[in-house]
Structure 1
Amino acid sequence: MHSRLTPRRTRTAAALLAAASLLVSACSAGGADGSTASTAARAAALAALPAATPSELAAYYAQRPAWRSCGVPGFECATLKAPLDYAKPAAGDVRLAVARKKATGPGKRLGSLLVNPGGPGGSAIGYLQQYAAIGYPAEVRARYDMVAVDPRGVARSEPVECLDGREMDAYTQTDTTPDDAHERDLLVDAYKDFAEGCGADSPRLLRHVSTVEAARDMDIVRAALGDAKLTYVGASYGTFLGATYAGLFPERVGRLVLDGAMDPSLDARRMNLDQTAGFETAFRSFTQDCVRHPDCPLGTKAADAGRNLRAFFDKLDARPIPAGDADGRKLGEALATTGVIAAMYDEGAWEQLRDALTSAMKQNDGAGLLALSDSYYERDPSGRYSNLMFANAAVNCLDLPPAFDGPDAVEKSLPAFEKASPVFGEGLAWASLTCAYWPVRATGEPHRIVAKGAAPIVVVGTTRDPATPYRWARALAGQLSSARLLTYEGDGHTAYGRGSTCIDSAIDTYLLHGTPPANGKRCS
């Protein structure tokens, strides 16, 4: 969800890593008439690659990882190579960082299970080491080597870099609800500076960080691991990566779980608009919970909560409040909005958000909301940022043409975005402008993914998911020829490993025994 809030990314507070999956960014949209159906009808299907490995790629497929200690007990790491440009394999390589935790037993080893938490831009290795290798069910970890590869441009795999910490601090505080021409110009300048920074710092890689290229890299990793087929669990953007793999290599699909699914047939404006509505849905669920508490800072009636929060944001726009930050940052509207949105990903963060809003609205203390915002941006206490947001924009802006070509187009769309979310609509519309100034033209287009001939693929959707609306899961399941749609009736982003025994049992059975759930199965 970002440029600054590019909806293709998700993350709440660090303590909520189990919900990991990154917001799917604000770089996608529907047709000229804004209709999902018309967009999907126009989108061509992703074509499968030839089954035989091209001779010019044979050396890449023949690699075997030289495992070494990662410095993290129980994990091994390796580096593999992939061609920077698949159309010109001799033009140079990109290095891919891979990590694994070997199957613990007992039971027969089933191969490798690759995981990806989303983003784009989320570190799969970080996710594996901090959550998946301890949080996945013991029986799954006993039978599979748990494996992660950071996609090209992400974290340990030749990361895209754009701005330093101080520059990012300024960028994340830029007003995304401009009140006049001057503020609009400042926002446009911020997006241009961000794009120019990425172009200057990562010129070689920036043209080759697409999802199609990352999916092709994943096939090289599969071969290097010695697996005939890919077994994979992808969340949020990770579902787009996994579905893309299935579309390119349908005959190599093993057991694929796509949790918090994206619809690849949508273009940028439509996707951002859908996500805006998704955050409004999640916010309404939060407010209904909040008003049950006597100390809810948004009032006693859920119907008034959005208006009260919007009024608070307006106050911060005029006068930011102290946030106890060592670097002197105050809590303004932009950071406060990010903090609230971060907590929408997991209902487990609602209490934290309620406390943070209470401190900010009643005690003039913005520290809680600033902490949520920092967790979203992956900013550490020393002021350093991970490359999450840099990679997020780089992939999104390459995968799809920009949602808007300039500020005039955003202003024309404001009524639609504000209708989708009176609270977040304006800011999310302006946050969709990043790719308009990107130094590299998009190479991708909206497309359907059929993956004809693939083994059964489990597509998971949550009915009140803020970042990947449930309609996307239904759409992807309708495209994939072998999909089984599994529905979680609940709140939060993604479903596996988040408390539903029904969901977890269905996915574990599929991973361990190859038996997918019945198509249309619903859990709560």
Structure 2
Amino acid sequence: MSQLLSQKVMRCARKAAPACLTVWALALAACGGSDGTSPPDPLQPYRAQVVQWTECDPGILGHPSDAMNALRGSQRLRCALVRAPLDWGNPAHGDITLAVMRLAAGKPEARRGALLFNPGGPGVDGLNLTFRLWDAFAGSSPADAQGARQLRLLDEYDMVGFSPRGVGASTQLQCGTNEPSRFVDYSVTGWDTPGNLANVHYNGRKTAEACQKNPLTPHISTEAMARDMDLLRSLLGDDKLNYVGYSYGSWLGAWYAGLFPDKVGRMVLDSVMDFGVTMEQALLHAQPPARQRLFDEVLAPYAARHADYFRLGTSAAEVRAAVQALSPSVQAVLGEALSGLSYFRVDANGYLERITVAQGLDAVRQQVPGLDDPDAVKAALARHVFDPAIPARDAFLRQLAWQQFYPAYVSTWLAPPQRIALDSLAAAGAAVRCNDTPAITDLAQWTATVRGLADKAPWYFGGLLANHACAFWQRPSVAKPSLQTLQPLDVLFVQSQYDGATPSDGANAFFTQLPRARRVFVPGDYQHGVYPYTDTCVDPLVTSYLLGEPPAQRDTVCPAHALERDALLQAQSKSSSAPAAYLDPQKARALIDAFKRGLQGDGRGW
């Protein structure tokens, strides 16, 4: 063995990194053995395992349609548990389990391969969530051109969903400690004090310590998940990975493509994270300004266009002033609620209704200053008029204030401390965010960054205070692949202009660096998770790409759906409704909406 190769092997022995597998292979080939043979590949037992496909647990499938119910006991719809290395760099450390669900191609003779789905997060379970999308496609109309394309997807692909490592039915990661968290003031006027910052740092440090006590934590990363997907590709018998990734799933898809560019088949990245920056920059730093922009440029003008209904102001400036006039403590609770409603265009009315509800609770504060007497608060809400013109809406908003907004206020400001504990979704999300790329560890620099974002987006910056563990995290040796590796690939981007979770500025920056990529872009909308869009522009382009026919243009613009109150004033064009693609459009939309809501993960606004 050469001296240079020996040095590389020794460095890799200390790191046990996935990239070192190549170095070990070179070393073994160079050394050989006394009989001229090389030791066995330590990953071969995983690649050669026989997957035992069995009937899926009905609890995974939820309440499928008649079309899917017929498949419950068939050989076509099956689930399995697959063994993968805990540590891809050192398989001797043991195994984890990956849960997989497959809806086999309806026409085996036309099979293109498997099509894997990841619904994002990081940490969202891809089993029952993606099943809802397939269920919608199963109700497509063969008499409609787009409906026929969607049925072809089910006929020509094995549709595959899986629980990423750390969540769902796969080996789960959880973090917890008996130590209680400390109170944090999330208001724009109260967060930046020495005592509050000390509590923020304490919670972040204790969360990091709790997670890193779990030996699984260092192995929950996009690097490991990408290698898990390549194992699934191999076990499914495919030379290429076909993939649809939403939100964080776009980051996972890009990472896979960077590791295995020669194994990329059809790849759709929908609602795209900027792969050219750190995870911290792409999520925590980019989201608050994007959500402020969504409010300023889309939702405040929408409220003003329908001032007689929303009653928040006759101009966008008046709507913004209505939020600015709220007390800081109510603003902080409203900011989290509005962040959580920034994902789906069908929530536009609910988004603006939360502002009216916040105004009502703020008015109640004049009668019950601390809002700490629930009976008094309930009585005051009963007297408050939320909508003087529409009694049913008035009653609905009052109920919303009492059952949702006030409990959120209590949780933020009045609840006793709770012990620090992260369920599998939250724990896996934290592990991926902190393991993948470096975060700001200098606390003075971190504070300066938060100050800048609080100035730009005073109602939406709270996520930086709630997700502070990465500053205290011991990162494993993981290196994000270079963008240059992805440049020859013809992946398809799908993006809405005002997406508040995966902002279009970052998606645009990523897209411009991939000269062979194509994009389907929806200006004016903020839908997170665009496809399927139930239209005659986005859906045919994306489905045709998956069926081997990429868009002719590098960048295609599709018209946006109108928001609900706008749609009432204009007849929806056929190009934006496309009900003919489904036999039962209402049922299909319900399934698609359920799928898209699942992309939000645990539903926290931050």
Superposition TM-score, scaled by structure 2 size: 0.66
Q: Secondary structure at the match of 1:77?
A: strand
Change over 3 Å in CA distance of 1:371–1:455 after alignment to 2: farther
Contact 1:84–1:93 (Cα < 8 Å) also in 2 = yes
Q: Which amino acid aligns with 2:315?
A: K
Which whole-Å CA distance do the structure 1 matches of 2:238 and 2:87 have between them?
24
Number of the residue aligned with 1:436: 471
Matches within 5 A, 1:127-206: 127-135=129-137, 137-163=150-176, 174-177=184-187, 178=191, 180-200=193-213, 203-206=214-217
Number of the residue aligned with 1:377: none
Higher-Rg structure is 2
Contact 1:267–1:403 (Cα < 8 Å) also in 2 = no
Greater alpha carbon shift after TM alignment, 472-481 vs 343-352: 472-481
Change over 3 Å in CA distance of 1:194–1:304 after alignment to 2: farther
Which whole-Å CA distance do the structure 2 matches of 1:146 and 1:226 have between them?
14
Q: Secondary structure at the match of 2:217?
A: coil
Contact 2:174–2:423 (Cα < 8 Å) also in 1 = no
Change over 3 Å in CA distance of 1:281–1:126 after alignment to 2: farther
Matches within 5 A, 1:32-111: 55-72=41-58, 74=72, 75-104=77-106, 108-111=110-113
Greater alpha carbon shift after TM alignment, 440-449 vs 427-436: 440-449
Change over 3 Å in CA distance of 1:502–1:288 after alignment to 2: same
Number of the residue aligned with 2:520: 486
Greater alpha carbon shift after TM alignment, 508-517 vs 153-162: 508-517
Q: Secondary structure at the match of 2:268?
A: strand
Q: Which amino acid aligns with 1:235?
A: Y
Which whole-Å CA distance do the structure 2 matches of 1:109 and 1:100 have between them?
13
Number of the residue aligned with 1:229: 240
Q: Which amino acid aligns with 1:198?
A: C
Which whole-Å CA distance do the structure 1 matches of 2:153 and 2:179 have between them?
43
Measured after TM superposition, the shift of residue 93 of structure 1 is 1.2
Gaps of 5+ in 2: 1-17, 27-39, 59-68, 139-149, 362-380, 382-400, 410-420, 560-606
Percent pairwise identity: 32
Measured after TM superposition, the shift of residue 220 of structure 1 is 0.3
Number of the residue aligned with 1:416: 452
Number of the residue aligned with 1:330: none
Which whole-Å CA distance do the structure 2 matches of 1:195 and 1:385 have between them?
11
Number of the residue aligned with 2:353: 355
Query: Given the alignment of the two structures, is residue 279 of structure 1 paired with residue 315 of structure 2, yes or no?
Result: no
Which whole-Å CA distance do the structure 1 matches of 2:343 and 2:289 have between them?
14
Greater alpha carbon shift after TM alignment, 219-228 vs 412-421: 412-421
Greater alpha carbon shift after TM alignment, 255-264 vs 467-476: 467-476
Greater alpha carbon shift after TM alignment, 295-304 vs 336-345: 295-304
Measured after TM superposition, the shift of residue 248 of structure 1 is 0.9
CA RMSD of aligned residues (A): 3.3
Q: Which amino acid aligns with 2:48?
A: A
Number of the residue aligned with 2:575: none
Q: Secondary structure at the match of 2:320?
A: helix
Measured after TM superposition, the shift of residue 259 of structure 1 is 0.9
Matches within 5 A, 1:314-325: 314-316=328-330
Change over 3 Å in CA distance of 1:212–1:514 after alignment to 2: farther
Number of the residue aligned with 2:583: none
Number of the residue aligned with 1:345: 343
Q: Which amino acid aligns with 1:138?
A: L
Contact 1:154–1:391 (Cα < 8 Å) also in 2 = yes
Change over 3 Å in CA distance of 1:419–1:96 after alignment to 2: same
Which whole-Å CA distance do the structure 2 matches of 1:390 and 1:128 have between them?
21
Query: Given the alignment of the two structures, is residue 510 of structure 1 paired with residue 510 of structure 2, yes or no?
Result: no
Contact 1:286–1:347 (Cα < 8 Å) also in 2 = no
Number of the residue aligned with 1:12: none
Measured after TM superposition, the shift of residue 229 of structure 1 is 0.9
Change over 3 Å in CA distance of 1:291–1:460 after alignment to 2: same
Contact 1:111–1:144 (Cα < 8 Å) also in 2 = yes
Number of the residue aligned with 1:465: 499
Aligned residues: 445
Number of the residue aligned with 2:230: 219
Which whole-Å CA distance do the structure 1 matches of 2:544 and 2:163 have between them?
27
Q: Which amino acid aligns with 1:513?
A: G
Which whole-Å CA distance do the structure 2 matches of 1:456 and 1:48 have between them?
29
Q: Secondary structure at the match of 1:497?
A: coil
Which whole-Å CA distance do the structure 2 matches of 1:444 and 1:309 have between them?
43
Measured after TM superposition, the shift of residue 197 of structure 1 is 2.6
Query: Given the alignment of the two structures, is residue 122 of structure 1 paired with residue 136 of structure 2, yes or no?
Result: no
Higher relative contact order, structure no. (Cα contacts within 8 Å, ≥ 6 residues apart): 1
Gaps of 5+ in 1: 1-45, 318-332, 374-383
Query: Given the alignment of the two structures, is residue 305 of structure 1 paired with residue 288 of structure 2, yes or no?
Result: no
Q: Deviations over 1:34-67 (max 9, x none)?
A: xxxxxxxxxxxx99997x9992212211223211
Matches within 5 A, 1:239-258: 239-258=250-269
Q: Which amino acid aligns with 2:457?
A: S
Q: Which amino acid aligns with 2:286?
A: D
Alignment equivalent of 1:259, drawn from 270, 289, 299? 270
Query: Given the alignment of the two structures, is residue 403 of structure 1 paired with residue 440 of structure 2, yes or no?
Result: yes
Measured after TM superposition, the shift of residue 77 of structure 1 is 1.4
Measured after TM superposition, the shift of residue 412 of structure 1 is 1.7
Change over 3 Å in CA distance of 1:316–1:473 after alignment to 2: closer
